[in-house]
A and B are shown apart, each in its own frame.
Chain A
Amino acid sequence: ELKVEQNPLFLSMQEGKNYTIYCNYSTTSDRLYWYRQDPGKSLESLFVLLSNGAVKQEGRLMASLDTKARLSTLHITAAVHDLSATYFCAVGEGLSNFGNEKLTFGTGTRLTIIP
C-alpha cells in the first residue's frame, strides 16, 4: 500500500525567509502533484512533476522530484503572507490498463507566514 508522508505538518515562518516542505512516498511512482488549499476552499493545482529530476518553478515556489529517493520537495523562497495555506503533495498510482491512476495524498502542511 502506498504511503505518502509530508513534513512538517505545521510550519510557521517569517516573511522573507526560505523553507522546504518534504514529501516522501513508499512505492515506485514518477508522477507527483502539489496542491494548495486555502481554508474552506478547493484544491488549486500548483505543479505536476512527471519524471525523475523534474523541477518546476512558479513565483516563489519551486518543486522538484527525485524518484530514486522517492522524495519531492516544495521550496519557498522569500515567503510572503499570501503564501499562507495548506499544501498537499499527491502521488499518482496506476489503476488499470486504461492509463487511469488514483492519487494518494499526504496529510498536508499547514503553512503560516508571519509578517
Chain B
Amino acid sequence: NAGVTQTPKFRVLKTGQSMTLLCAQDMNHEYMYWYRQDPGMGLRLIHYSVGEGTTAKGEVPDGYNVSRLKKQNFLLGLESAAPSQTSVYFCASTQDRHRNYGYTFGSGTRLTVV
C-alpha cells in the first residue's frame, strides 16, 4: 500500500520553464489537495479536487493549474515558473467526508526556480 506518491522528489527549473508535478494515491480517495510549504510558514492550499474531473482554487492559486482526469491522480502544473514558486509542494488526500481519519500526505517535491 503506497499511500500518496509524489513525483519528482526534487527539481530545479529555470525561470519561465514549465513542469508538472504528479500526485498519485492508491486509497480510492475522493478528495485531493495541493499545498505549498515555505520556510517559517505553515502549509498553504493551492488547489483542490472533490472528485474525478473537478478542481477548485485554494488560497494561493495564481501561477498554477491542476487537473484530475483520473480519480487516483492529481496533477499540478506550472506554466511559466517564477522564483517565487520555489517551495516544497505537498499533495494530500482523504476519503472520509467528515475527516475522522485526517489526511494522508505525500513525501513532498522540493522545487527550486532559478
Report A's interface with B, CB cutoff 8 A: 4, 31, 33, 35, 41-45, 48, 50, 88, 90, 92, 95-96, 98-108
Contact A98/B50 with A103-B45, A105-B42, A107-B40 known, Cβ cut-off 8 Å: yes
Of B44, B45, B103, B106, which is within 8 A of A33 by CB?
Answer: B103
B90: CB under 8 A from chain A? yes
Choose, from B12-20, B70-78, B79-87, B94-102, the stretch at the interface.
Answer: B94-102
User: Contact between B50 and A96 (Cβ–Cβ < 8 Å)?
Assistant: yes
Please give the number of chain B residues whose Cβ is less than 8 angstroms from any Cβ of chain A in the complex. 27
Contacts of B92 in A (CB 8 A): 43
**23 pairs, A vs B, C-beta closer than 8 Å:** A42-B90, A42-B106, A42-B107, A43-B105, A45-B101, A45-B104, A50-B100, A88-B43, A96-B50, A98-B50, A99-B98, A100-B31, A100-B50, A101-B99, A102-B33, A102-B45, A102-B48, A102-B58, A103-B33, A104-B42, A105-B42, A107-B40, A108-B42
User: Contact between B42 and A90 (Cβ–Cβ < 8 Å)?
Assistant: yes
Q: Mark B26-59, 1 if CB is under 8 A from A, else 0.
A: 0000010100000011111100101000001011
Contact A107/B90 with A43-B105, A102-B48 known, Cβ cut-off 8 Å: no
User: Contact between B42 and A107 (Cβ–Cβ < 8 Å)?
Assistant: yes
Which partner residue on chain A sits nearest B45 by CB separation?
A: A102
User: Contact between A88 and B103 (Cβ–Cβ < 8 Å)?
Assistant: no
User: Contact between B42 and A42 (Cβ–Cβ < 8 Å)?
Assistant: no
CB distance from A53 to the nearest CB of B (A): 17
Apart from A33-B102, A104-B42, A108-B42, list 17 A-B contacts with CB within 8 A: A33-B99, A33-B103, A42-B106, A42-B108, A43-B90, A43-B105, A50-B98, A50-B99, A50-B100, A90-B42, A90-B43, A92-B99, A96-B56, A99-B97, A100-B50, A105-B44, A106-B42
Give bound CA distance, A105 to B35, whole Å. Answer: 11
Contacts of B99 in A (CB 8 A): 31, 33, 48, 50, 92, 101
